[in-house]
Amino acid sequence: MSSIEKAGLYRLGDRTVKRLGYGAMQLAGPGVFGPPKDRAEAVAVLREAVAAGVDHIDTSDFYGPHVTNEIIREALHPYPADLTIVTKVGGKRGADGSWLRADAPDELRAAVEDNLRNLGLDALDVVNMRFMFDPHRPADGPVEAQIEALADLQRQGLIRHIGVSHVTSAQVKAARRIVDVVCVQNHYNLVHRDDDALIDELAAEGIAYVPYFPLGGFSPLQSDTLAAVATRLGVTPMQLALAWLLRRSPNILLIPGTSSRAHLRENLAVAEIDLDPATLRELDAIGKP
Ligand SMILES: NC(=O)c1ccc[n+]([C@@H]2O[C@H](COP(=O)([O-])OP(=O)(O)OC[C@H]3O[C@@H](n4cnc5c(N)ncnc54)[C@H](OP(=O)(O)O)[C@@H]3O)[C@@H](O)[C@H]2O)c1
């Protein structure tokens, strides 16, 4: 069994994927805007991820914009049959790199078409509807019009499965009254635990929960306890944060982002890390109020 298989498997749409995947956002330039400094390394990261067994890659055409998807296509097309590429729509980039809402039906169709063209696909495996009612946290707001628009594109065969992102529990339920929601992608990690209850709700329903910023994203996780336990176990704090997420719930799929093969190797090795109950309790306490 390869190291990444030890992390286990979980259902994502009509497929089963390995719980250790890869998030491609870091492959674009600084601020997820423009080309990367080292395109060859970006291509190498993707190829090494897939060679190591990764079968779930998260992306969006607004990373770059377009750049990340173009690099994925250059590195991996034609895609392995078992590779699930999950993308997201609902936003666009301003000329200054700002992140703007773009969720009118015609904008969602255009975003799906951009993803299809830049990834070189006839249909997208999973499309997350990324809501932006509040930039900083999931916030109340109606989701029906956007989910109906994606359901329409699904009926037309352009999308195979639908997920939701940056959402509340009530919004997940509202979306599920319209379509089969296969995954939820929200901000969550060892120190940012707002979604504890939602994760458990989704686990009971067999729905994948895919935390974004698993390592803290633009503000890398910092905790004295995390650092101390990592030193004790002989791993890095980032590895330990990922290992904790794998233990947190079986429906959690990891998509840590990195632009370097060295970090990729560290991240894909975390299924090997044993966490005994006392250590888990110690780590759990970090994010408790
Ligand atoms: N739905 C949404 O709204 C949303 C929002 C944000 C992200 N996402 C998705 O979630 C994925 C993950 O989020 P993210 O990439 O923003 O944040 P992340 O995975 O929490 O952290 C990425 C950062 O950690 C660094 N890093 C990665 N592995 C490391 C390691 N082993 N040791 C030390 N540093 C390490 C990366 O730098 P290096 O490049 O130097 O390794 C990068 O700066 C993204 O790729 C994207 O697909 C979704």
The dihedral region occupied by 8, where left means phi > 0, alpha psi between -120 and 50, and beta the remainder, is left
Q: Which backbone phi and psi does 192 adopt, to 5 degrees?
A: -115, 90
Q: How confident is the model at residue 1 (pLDDT cuts 50, 70, 90)?
A: low
pLDDT in tens, 252-272: 999 999 999 999 999 999 999
Q: Which residues pair with 64 in a beta bridge?
A: 33
Cα-Cα-Cα-Cα dihedral of 163, 166, 172, 176, to 10°? -30
Mean pLDDT of 178-207: 98
Q: Which residue, judged by its Cα, is nearest atom 26 of ligand 1?
A: 258
- Residues contacting ligand 1 via CB (< 6 Å): 23-26, 58, 88, 130, 165-166, 185, 212-217, 220, 236, 238, 255-260, 263, 266-267
pLDDT in tens, 120-129: 999 999 999 9
Under a CB-based contact definition with an 8 Å cutoff, are residues 95 and 64 in contact?
Answer: no
Q: How far is the CA of 36 from the centre of ligand 1 (A)?
A: 15
- Among 263, 266, 267, 272, the mutation site with the greatest number of ligand 1 atoms within 8 A of its Cβ is 263
Q: How far is the CA of 267 from the centre of ligand 1 (A)?
A: 11
Q: Which residue, judged by its Cα, is nearest atom 7 of ligand 1?
A: 212
- Among 38, 41, 68, 258, the mutation site with the greatest number of ligand 1 atoms within 8 A of its Cβ is 258
Q: SS3 for 86?
A: strand
Under a CB-based contact definition with an 8 Å cutoff, are residues 60 and 10 in contact?
Answer: no
pLDDT at residue 206, rounded to an integer: 98
Q: Which atom of ligand 1 is nearest to the CA of 24?
A: 45
pLDDT in tens, 18-44: 999 999 999 999 999 999 999 999 999
Q: How far is the CA of 28 from the centre of ligand 1 (A)?
A: 12
The two three-digit tokens of residue 106, written as one number: 């015609």
Q: How confident is the model at residue 3 (pLDDT cuts 50, 70, 90)?
A: confident
Beta-sheet strands, E only, within 131-261: 159-165, 181-185, 208-209
Residues annotated as catalytic are: 63
Domain segments of the chain as ranges: 4-287
Q: How far is the CA of 259 from the centre of ligand 1 (A)?
A: 9
Kindly tell me if the per-residue pLDDT of 2 is higher than 70: no
Q: How confident is the model at residue 288 (pLDDT cuts 50, 70, 90)?
A: confident
Helix (H) or strand (E) holding 218: none
Say yes or no: domain 4-287 is CATH 3.20.20.100: yes
pLDDT in tens, 76-121: 999 999 999 999 999 999 999 999 999 999 999 999 999 999 999 9
pLDDT at residue 36, rounded to an integer: 97
Q: How far is the CA of 116 from the centre of ligand 1 (A)?
A: 23
DSSP state of 90: S
